[in-house]
Chain A
Amino acid sequence: MNGALLFDPLFAGPFATGLCFAVLLPLLGAWLRLRDEWLAALAFAQTAAAGALLAMLAGAPLLLGGLAAAALAAGLKHAFEGATRGAQGAAYAMLLLLGWGVSVLLVANLPLAERMGHALFDGQLYLTERSHLISAGVFAAGALLALRPLSRRLLLAHFFPDLFRARGLSERRAHFAFDLLVAGALALATMSIGVMGAFALIFVPPLIAFGWAGSWRRALALGVAVGVASYVLAFGLALALDQPFGPLLALLLVAAGVASALGRRWAGHA
């Protein structure tokens, strides 16, 4: 692998763009995993892709379409906040199918959408521009700032729901704010690292971290470490082997997840 390519100005921007998501998505994934709502992440990413394609057809900015569709999906999820776990899961699955159906139909019928559709699903990280980097950096910084106060509320609502309500705090408001963060992050990430790449980064690192970490803080740190390490490796491999980035990232994370599960079994944890 030619490591110097990582520092080539041509690739430095895309690398930094993806790095923002490699840090942010595993963090957000930890709270999604805590709430057992990881399927919602895939639904958000898929809906964002459909929104971007629809925006392209309408002549609007892709980013705007993706963000709007993901925010709409977050709003729909919010409507199911008080529902049973089964009903919530069904709603996420429906959203996922809706996003996938719209995207594939557009890709199949419109030549312009075909190229963009493949880019959104495979990840178009190397084609990202300065605007992607700025939006990713600003969003990641804002999300990290917002997570600090939101984290305590989400954890309190999970571990002490009665105490949370008794203190006059609104679970629905805290969850909706978090869902909007997740939807925004996934919409932006989908535009650069693709639907499944973004989903892999939000799903697998917390899965690994939850198995090994002894505390929440360590789980967050381990999740970010796994996300960043997998991302850097996938980026380098994709450049060296001239392969699409998204699938390589997903495969690396799957390999890490399997190795983690085997390691835990060997260590007697599972």
Chain B
Amino acid sequence: MSGDSGNGGEPPLLAAAGLSAGYAKPVVGPVSLRLARGEIVGIVGPNGAGKSTLLAALTGAARIFSGRVDKAPGLRVSLQQQQAPAIDGIPFSGAELLALTGAPAAGLPPWLAPRLGERLDRLSGGQLQFLYLWACLQAPADVVLLDEPTNNLDPDGVAFLAGALRRRARPGAGEEEGGGNACAGAGLLLVSHDARFMDAVCDRTVTL
């Protein structure tokens, strides 16, 4: 059984205990984890270990076969999964995308901020991925779940993302650049195969 005892002190926003989940049959678990405000927790494991399914189970999109998920009352969840929808030929701008989730544009990296007025289908894969991440990361939420956030990002993008994640979890904790997030102090749960990135940003990891 994969387990995470948490940081002990802060009451969890989200907790799973002995969770076994999947679709037609269980593909992950049993796993336990706790996520408190201000924490960044990583879920790591090989391809097919069920990392994305675990995120889906936490948001009710996958079936829970055993165990339980507890959420703080009134919990607001933001979630970004791997597959972005088709955007070719759709006249939708970056600014409109952020407005949909309620994410502020302030704090975007300098290589993306000037392109907010452009259509999504005119952005590069990396810019688009970062914009989707930003829209979910900075949406008003208590818990943010991100699935493979470093996909399609170049080293600059990964570095900027790492800083943004820390600021989102612990705003005002002395990060280098201005944050800009409207809502403060979220718990972040990340799924990634990028071990170096996870080591750099996560407070602790759960291995599946």
Chain A residues with a Cβ under 8 A of chain B? 34, 36, 152, 155-156, 158-163, 165-168, 209-219
Contact = CB atoms under 8 A, between A and B. Distances in A.
A34 B86 CA distance: 9
Given A34-B90, A209-B91, A162 B80 contact: yes
26 contacts: A36-B86, A159-B85, A159-B92, A160-B101, A162-B61, A163-B78, A163-B80, A163-B139, A165-B59, A165-B60, A166-B60, A166-B77, A166-B78, A166-B79, A167-B76, A168-B60, A210-B91, A211-B89, A212-B91, A214-B93, A214-B117, A214-B118, A215-B95, A216-B93, A218-B91, A219-B91
- For the residues of A in contact with B, the DSSP-based class is helix
B97 interface: yes
B116 to A, nearest CB: 10
B139 to A, nearest CB: 7
A225 B76 CA distance: 39
Interface centre among A161, A163, A212, A217 (most CB of B within 10 A): A163
B interface bracket (residues with beta carbon within 8 Å of A): 20 to 34
Interface of B: 59-61, 76-81, 85-87, 89-93, 95-97, 100-101, 117-119, 132, 135-136, 139, 145
A159 B77 contact: no
Given A155-B100, A160-B100, A215-B96, A165 B91 contact: no
A214 B91 contact: yes
Contact of A210 (B79, B90, B118, B135): B90
Sorted nearest first, the 8 A-B pairs with minimum C-beta distance are A213-B91, A219-B91, A166-B59, A215-B93, A166-B79, A162-B81, A166-B77, A162-B79
B100 A161 contact: no
A36 B60 CA distance: 27
B92 to A, nearest CB: 5
A49 to B, nearest CB: 30
A36 B95 CA distance: 23
B92 A216 contact: yes
A217 B96 contact: yes
